[in-house]
Amino acid sequence: MIDLKFLRENPEVVKQNIRNKFQDGKLPLVDEVIELDARARKTQQEADALRADRKKLSKQIGALMGQGRKDEAEAMKAQVNADARHLEDLEKQEAELSQKITKIMMTIPNIIDPSVPIGKDDSENVEVQRYGEPLTPDFEVPYHAEIMERFQGLDLDSARKVAGNGFYYLMGDIARLHSAVISYARDFMVSRGFTYCVPPFMIRSNVVTGVMSFAEMDAMMYKIEGEDLYLIGTSEHSMIGKYIDTILNEEQLPQTLTSYSPCFRKEKGAHGIEERGVYRIHQFEKQEMIVVCKPEESMMWFEKLWQNTVDLFRSMDIPVRTLECCSGDLADLKVKSIDVEAWSPRQQKYFEVGSCSNLGDAQARRLKIRVTGKTGKYFAHTLNNTVVAPPRMLIAFLENNLCGDGSVKIPEALRPYMGGQDKIVPPAQ
């Protein structure tokens, strides 16, 4: 959510930003919110004047009563009562206008960084850099579900009976590998100075609307029936929510946290939940990283965050590339975003395994995360990035570490988390 004062003083900048995001349908909202804001400020001024008059008249009534001028005092009381009724109407108008303004402001997209490429959708995202040499094995790489099933490590049929499509059972070495990757990612981030955290896996609605747009909320979140609680789609939501309505001292910044959680997503509007794979699913686990920092440091942290993911994947012998998200592919709260994509030897192309986002002060403004500094109070900047999210990450891992004999090599960095094994072998058929 952008600053209302900024919108009031720079309407054309806000409109051009909307055009850059190819959301022209929202252009009328700028003029609408300016008109509502003018009415709200006029109403507030009138209400403030009445409040001031009431205090002055109350003192005069007391003086008149003390002088025995009861009739004049009673007439003045009648005026005070009439003003009170009018003030009540004005306060009601103030609340209604404020609610309308907030609702509109939460749908107007954040101002994107000037470095963001302009494009309509993810097909116009721009490759930044590649890390590692993409593999082209001299043997056929099976579909990821088939690799897992060869290890007796995936059971989708039973999961479908229990919960429906989009769920899975992981077992044996595949399940161990899943847990090993999560544990390694945790320690990797701790070694880089981040504090480990296990957050709540449910959050209240005021946190949900504080960290994401209404469109994202509708497409992602599962609501708990009869409760003001939602299952998290990513631990970033509850991690940023940790700071709701807080005032931090500058000396406490940056706050750098890495968190583990399960994640739950409806995947509404997606291309469909696969019946034989685990690429797009309703439930998965994830290691995340978030930063709360000073505005002038957010771009520096942005570069550090996505680099952490690149380094993690390269330590497991997985080639990756970074992709700059274009304006039309950015969610409304984001200032800038980079996707990390892993190489798929089977498909001979890259696919998304993580996303790094700088949200500026949008989340902090919604959640009232403020900082006390030398020049006064200001809103913090917030950032988030995926460390690793199996089982999608497992797809990249298995394909890039698969050997011609059907075994999967374990990179040196991961061996301590797999009992020292340097490979896993499918059970004898």
Question: pTM higher than 0.85 for the full model?
Answer: yes
Q: Mind listing the pLDDT tens digit for each residue in 363-384?
A: 999 999 999 998 899 999 999 9
381-388/283-293 β-pairing:
antiparallel
pLDDT computed for residue 64 by the predictor? 63
- DSSP character for 244? T
Share of the chain above pLDDT 90, in %: 79
pLDDT computed for residue 73 by the predictor? 65
Give the Cα separation of 170 and 167 in Å (integer). 10
Identify which of 306, 305, 304 has the alpha carbon closest to the alpha carbon of residue 322. Answer: 306
126-131/255-264 β-pairing:
unpaired
Long-range contacts of 79-83 (CB under 8 A, 24+ apart): 80/54, 83/50, 83/53, 83/54, 83/57
pLDDT computed for residue 89 by the predictor? 84
Identify which of 301, 296, 285 has the alpha carbon closest to the alpha carbon of residue 192. Answer: 301
User: What is the separation of C-alpha 269 from the centre of its chain, rounded to a whole number of angstroms?
Assistant: 18
User: What is the separation of C-alpha 361 from the centre of its chain, rounded to a whole number of angstroms?
Assistant: 12
Long-range contacts of 3-9 (CB under 8 A, 24+ apart): 3/365, 4/33, 4/37, 4/101, 4/105, 6/111, 7/33, 7/34, 7/105, 7/108, 8/34, 8/37
Mean pLDDT for 338-357 is: 96
- Residue identified by tokens 């797999």 is 418
pLDDT computed for residue 428 by the predictor? 77
pLDDT band at residue 77 using 50, 70 and 90 as cut-offs: low
Q: Mind listing the pLDDT tens digit for each residue in 217-261?
A: 878 899 999 999 999 999 999 999 999 999 999 999 999 999 999
pLDDT computed for residue 273 by the predictor? 56
Give the Cα separation of 363 and 367 in Å (integer). 6
Domains and CATH numbers, the chain: 4-105 (1.10.287.40), 122-424 (3.30.930.10)
pLDDT above 90: residue 88: no
Q: Mind listing the pLDDT tens digit for each residue in 204-217?
A: 999 999 998 777 78
Spatial contact of 414 and 187, defined as CB atoms under 8 Å apart: no
Mean pLDDT for 59-66 is: 66
